A = this chain, B = another copy of it.
Amino acid sequence: MKIVILAHESLLSPGGKTARGVYFYSPHEIVGIIDRQFAGKDASEIFPGKRRVPIFASIWEIKKDFDALIIGTAPIGGKLPQEWREEIKETLYRGKMVISGLHDFLSEDEEFSKIAEKTGAKIWDVRKPPENLKVADGSGKGVNSVLVAGTDVVVGKMITAVELYREALRRGISAGFVATGQTGIMVGCDAGAVIDRIPGDFMAGVLEDMVKKVSEKKDIIFVEGQGDILHPAYSGVSLAILHGSYPRKIVLVHDPARKWHLDYPNFPLPSLERYIELYEKLAEPVSGGKVAAISLNGENLNKKEIDKVIEKIESELGLPTTDVLRYGAGKILDALL
């Protein structure tokens, strides 16, 4: 499949994490990225070491054929700007698929669905909950799963989970990946559902179902976490994932440069130690999972700074710690096997 990523003015902003995740990890060929802010550049100039993908100002400038347009970000306020609508319509007019992780389902938009009906184009709303919602019954207990949880949103949970999963595959381990957010689903997984879109009562149950199914075929599963258990808005989703994934081990993703929850300056980040304590105490009566390693997000620190943080955490907490994007996931995987 050949894909295009729509990411106007967000390739470098927190809201563009879906675009970046797909760019970094999608197994598909990426024909282009649409972001008028960086039009004319190549994505590898912005993200050194990553694959070459040209950036365009609009969909009309892309001359190569493609199969699907991925909406790589959520506009502020959740409403689609008019210009985005035009680019989505253009995709549908061409009969190509639109893949969206927005809360507002594009397939329920009258204008979009009419065009899709005419041209045979498909609209895939990744966030749509599965049809069979169930309440967790405790039967997931005992699966061999690793939860990649975090101390905030947009901190690198999906990236850490995918890097661990791929490192395990490289070592010949029978590993599975369970995605809980749109980006994880878009880059490919053994099972996936956008947990934050599922009605509260069913969040843990939907995840329990997925980890059980993937466990039947794989020896170890990596589960992508969401949000964090002390986040003022998303803590409920995080805790449902902690309990519904029944982790034996937990990898905690942390940005040592962050002082408060992203976009919530009135809510300072509690200490890493407090997070470790609470994740373990909350997991204890359900799956007994312990924090086995720390994955640091080092994007705001230079090599010397991150190395110092790694050394400090390892000596003070005794937990294997690394910056996965700088040094790979091998050290953490060692701690999980």
Residue numbers of A with Cβ under 8 A of B are 103, 129, 135-138, 141, 195-201, 203-205, 229-244, 264, 266-268, 270, 274, 277-278, 281-282, 284-286
Contact = CB atoms under 8 A, between A and B. Distances in A.
A243 to B, nearest CB: 5
Interface centre among A103, A266, A286 (most CB of B within 10 A): A286
10 contacts: A103-B201, A138-B232, A141-B266, A199-B199, A200-B203, A200-B237, A200-B240, A233-B243, A235-B242, A236-B241
Given A199-B198, A282-B230, A138 B237 contact: no
B138 A267 contact: yes
A200 B204 contact: no
B239 A229 contact: yes
Nearest to A207: B236
Contacts of A136: 232-233
Interface centre among A239, A281, A284 (most CB of B within 10 A): A239
Contacts of A141: 266
A264 B138 contact: yes
A201 B285 contact: no
B267 A286 contact: yes
Given A200-B203, A203-B200, A268 B285 contact: yes
A198 B199 CA distance: 5
Contacts of A268: 285
A237 B232 CA distance: 13
Contacts of A229: 239, 282
Contacts of A198: 199-200
B264 A274 contact: no
A274 to B, nearest CB: 7
Given A196-B200, A274-B281, A286-B267, A239 B235 contact: yes
A232 B286 contact: yes
A195 B205 contact: no
Given A103-B201, A203-B200, A278-B282, A266 B138 contact: yes
A286 B270 CA distance: 10
B239 A236 contact: yes
A186 to B, nearest CB: 18
Q: Which 6 A-B pairs have the closest CB atoms?
A: A236-B240, A136-B233, A200-B237, A196-B201, A236-B236, A196-B200
Given A196-B201, A200-B195, A243 B232 contact: yes
A238 B239 CA distance: 9
A102 to B, nearest CB: 12
Contacts of A205: 233
Contacts of A137: 233, 264
A233 to B, nearest CB: 4
Interface centre among A135, A200, A203, A231 (most CB of B within 10 A): A200
